[in-house]
Structure 1
Amino acid sequence: MYSTLLLLHSLGRWAVLLSLLLGLVRAYRGWLGRHSFTGSDNAVRHWTATIAHGQLMLGYALYFSSPLVRAFRLRDAEHDPGALFFGLQHVLAMTLAIVVLTIGSALAKRRETDEAKFRTMALWFTAALLLIFLAIPWPFSPLASRPYFRF
């Protein structure tokens, strides 16, 4: 089960990033180009948040079944940067990123004007993307290096 969760979570990372980048492109294009907020824009806003929530749930399932996180809870993590990263930093930063994304999605849905919808979506989604970029265990990360795809 752990390896299946790990694979799904690894692949889900790309779904979140792609949907978030699509949402950002549409948001900035609409905001700066003064376009109308269409049903497609709303669908991208909605599905970006939905995909991110699914990834967060996969992440929580992985968190509670991970031997690395179990090791973090059972010993002093100061001496194991990988355990500290996954046991604390990754889960907190990603949870915060999804909260930011969710707030931005909800606020954008409720704005009155098209410009305000796009602006809200652009700013909150950008903040979420920055948090996500900081918390992903990239192959070049000094905190916890992981490959782009886990098989």
Structure 2
Amino acid sequence: MFFNVFYVHLCIAMTSIYAFILALHSTWRWIVLIILIVSLLRFAYQKKKRLPFTPTDNFLKKAVIIAFYMQALMGIILYILSPITQYFLTHFKTAVHLRQIRFFGMEHSSMMILAAIFLLIGSLKSKNADTDDRRFKILLIWFGLALLIVLSSIPWEFSPLTSRPSFRSF
């Protein structure tokens, strides 16, 4: 009896945590996108004008990484708690043929991991660049590829494949 009551309370708590993290993850994506786009615009401007790599540029580079990895951490928690991914993992042979289930169970997470790797590669390679021009070029390429992957893997509200709201309430 005690374990049944405990289990029910645990399930209720997990549902509340899931809803909160889902809303936070949905909201935080906008912060990640803004920081990533602003950094790319700044890097392109600095490169075009042949300006030096400044502490502001380094801060933006680190801000992108931190914001994205915080988003990834929330995504990992959601992956563990999500009923969609639980269904995907327990009914893989059936779920892999269901577009929305497959998107959240495999495609979204795989592509975001790839974007995280690209951001990390760009950040690390830029540290070893011998000139500021080369540093900006490396950041533009790797961060730009990451942005393209992210934009293609977000479940946009207007997407006919996996539509989700642009903003969720807490």
- Which TM-score applies when normalising by structure 2? 0.86
- 1:107 corresponds, among 111, 121, 125, to 125
Q: Which residue of 2 aligns with 1:42?
A: 58
Which SS does the other structure have where 1:119 is aligned?
helix
CA distance in 2, matches of 1:57, 1:78: 24
Identical residues among aligned pairs (%): 38
Is 2:114 the counterpart of 1:96?
yes
- 1:21: how far off? 0.4
- 1:137: how far off? 0.2
- 2:157 corresponds, among 135, 139, 142, to 139
Structure 2 unmatched ranges of 5 or more: 1-16
For residues 57-136 of structure 1, what are the structure 2 equivalents within 5 Å? 57-75=73-91, 76-136=94-154
CA distance in 1, matches of 2:152, 2:145: 11
- 1:79: how far off? 4.1
- 1:4: how far off? 0.9
- 1:72: how far off? 1.1
Which SS does the other structure have where 2:19 is aligned?
helix
Moved more, 131-140 or 76-85: 76-85
Which SS does the other structure have where 1:146 is aligned?
coil
Corresponding residue pairs, total: 151
Runs of 4+ in 1 over 6 A off after TM superposition: none
Is 2:23 the counterpart of 1:7?
yes
Structure 1 unmatched ranges of 5 or more: none
- Which TM-score applies when normalising by structure 1? 0.96
Which SS does the other structure have where 1:48 is aligned?
helix
- 1:115: how far off? 0.5
